[in-house]
Amino acid sequence: MFLFLARQRLVEGLSIKINNMIKNLSFKLGLMTLALMLMSAPLFAKAEMLNRELEVGSTGSDVGSLQTFLAQDVTLYPQGLVTNYFGFLTKAAVSNFQSRNGLPPVGRVGPMTLPVLNAQMSGGGSMGGDRSAPMIYSLNLGTTNTTATLNWNTSEGAAAIVYYSTSPIALSESGPNTAITVYGTSLLVHTDLRVSHSATLMGLQSNTVYYYVVYTRDGSSNESITWPSSFRTNS
């Protein structure tokens, strides 16, 4: 009888140890599986796109989306803080982004920076609909003494207008309600949606400096405009 009870206790003890070992092994395997899942997951989630202008003092989840996007690149936003508050660290990060993308580094997300950010943040898209403005690229220009011909492409089908003047064209992102001021002569290039664009400005004065911007608008009313540039007609 004594031997039987001793054997039972031994078997029970071994069963408890085996069960504990299985539980520990399952726990460790679970941790290993979780670690592998984390290692194989994307390092950075894509941020939602923005639907308003942002500056120091702005708050909200869209500010957090902006910070999340900028934090993916430590050279832009080394602090990487996602606080939903647009402070001076975020302003510096936006300035870095603007410098990298050929925009004036004012540190404010205005009408020039917004479409560029949205084009690069387009992987999020959870706000629904097309929020990405057409990107303008490969812009080149040729002149005679009385004409100037511009050719460019957009990342999606868009209508186009060229504004030009002998006076500088003012565009600003430095504060609210001073977003875009365009004056001078406007040339409606076309209203249908195209990706290749060409416009000829005619009746210009010879040997004269002209300032111009190119404006495009896609089928979802997303707009983009180039920073003011200039050319001189031939003598």
Average pLDDT, the chain: 77
Query: 158: helix, coil or strand?
Result: strand
The burial class, CB within 10 Å (0-12 / 13-18 / 19+), for 105 is middle
Mean pLDDT, residues 180-200 taken together: 87
pLDDT band at 41 (very low <50, low <70, confident <90, very high): very low
Q: Is the entire prediction scored with pTM above 0.95?
A: no
For residue 90, what are its two tokens?
């975020």
Per domain, the residue ranges of the chain are: 1-41, 44-131, 136-232
For residue 111, what are its two tokens?
């009408």
Query: 20: helix, coil or strand?
Result: helix
| pLDDT tens, position by position, 80-100 | 888 889 999 999 999 999 888
For residue 64, what are its two tokens?
């957090």
| pLDDT tens, position by position, 130-184 | 556 788 889 999 999 999 999 999 888 889 999 999 999 877 666 555 445 677 8
């602090």: which residue's tokens? 79
The class of domain 44-131 in CATH terms is mainly alpha
Query: Could you tell me how many helices (H) and strands (E) the chain has, helices first?
Result: 4, 6
Please state, for a pLDDT cut of 70, what percent of the chain lies above it: 71
Q: Is 98 left (phi over 0), alpha (psi -120 to 50) or beta?
A: alpha
Q: What does the pLDDT read at residue 152?
A: 95
Domain 136-232, CATH number (from 1.10.4080.10, 1.20.1440.230, 2.60.40.10, 1.10.3720.10)? 2.60.40.10
Q: What does the pLDDT read at residue 137?
A: 86
